[in-house]
Structure 1
């Protein structure tokens, strides 16, 4: 059974897996993974007939995901996967039914960079489309993080990250013209760091 799950989903983010089990994205035609790495969140989509795209800053990561796509979905052109920053993606407005952005936004340099990335994700999302983002937050560890300015914090696990709080995500959702399709959920890893899942639909 474990082998079957591994073949079907790979090392998928658990909150993306949850949405797939709920059938949330069954009607989505195309999917973008913004900050795709080697494609760990794309295995299911590549094997089930979705039009899959990805961007990443690292050329090796894009080569890896192109190789994966060639094996699992050879009909997809290699240039569906490109080296590009999230804040400046080479795709038209209102393109994708689903945009995934996992463990990327907390690498923002400052508030302006974070804002540019979020607005870029929203720009390429089609009306009615879904954004699923996982990012580090202050939620639940507000008294354990140290502000470094410009939205960046020092965390108890020794890392430095750009962190958001719940109100920031709610404000962006409203300002961008969306609504939550799942409540904001946060995983606290032994008070060392917190990872939050932001699920918004473009109206």
Structure 2
């Protein structure tokens, strides 16, 4: 199966325990969950799209030994309203989701929800579009503060390094790694923001 290369890097460097309980918040069709299911992890996922969750339930049921109750394991719900208990997960994945925040308040609500469901000492892996490295190429996309049109033509809620560092502090979190950004030929930049609760 496929897995985000930067998430796999966290696994290979030993930042994900063999018995980690994993949540993919904004899992889509489950791209990043398949690896963890095959490795025997207890996995959970949420997405706002019912069809995506239906597909995840189907293939996870075929793959997962020991995975039960697909309806409570894979749920249709937004990231900012995660219904899992506080401190439930060793690893929370939120890959290519935060840059769809409606505004700053929505971004804050989503990150607070991620922090709430992570265990103390748990890791939150996020990957999101940012302005880091392409500041001069951005155009405001609409009247909502924080939204910009990227050079690739897409509109995203864009953050910068200072914003991510301030959010890390506000969450009472510590960075697992320095914030890393990949510049895709000045068309967009994707940033890894990995932190521990």
Question: How far did residue 151 of structure 1 move?
Answer: 1.0
Provide the residue aligned with 2:191 in structure 1. Answer: 196
- Structure 1 residue 98 corresponds to structure 2 residue 91: yes
Which ranges of structure 1 fall in alignment gaps of 5 or more residues? 1-9
CA distance in 1, matches of 2:80, 2:136: 31
Q: Which of 46, 54, 59 is matched with 1:63 structurally?
A: 54
Whether contact under 8 Å (1:46, 1:73) holds in the other structure is yes
Q: Which of 171, 178, 185 is matched with 1:176 structurally?
A: 171
Provide the residue aligned with 2:112 in structure 1. Answer: 119
TM-score normalised by length of structure 2: 0.94
Question: How far did residue 29 of structure 1 move?
Answer: 2.5
CA distance in 1, matches of 2:93, 2:174: 16
SS for the counterpart of 1:196 is: strand
Question: How far did residue 27 of structure 1 move?
Answer: 4.7
Which ranges of structure 2 fall in alignment gaps of 5 or more residues? none
- Structure 1 residue 42 corresponds to structure 2 residue 37: no
CA distance in 2, matches of 1:92, 1:11: 28
Alignment of 1:2-13 (within 5 A): 10-13=1-4
CA distance in 2, matches of 1:72, 1:183: 35
Q: Which of 110, 131, 149 is matched with 1:138 structurally?
A: 131
CA distance in 1, matches of 2:182, 2:191: 6
TM-score normalised by length of structure 1: 0.92
Equivalenced residues, count: 193
**Aligned-CA RMSD value:** 1.1
Whether contact under 8 Å (2:90, 2:118) holds in the other structure is yes
The 4+ residue runs of structure 1 with deviation greater than 3 A are none
User: CA offsets, 1:21-45, max 9 Å, x none?
Assistant: 1121025530000000111101121
Provide the residue aligned with 2:7 in structure 1. Answer: 16
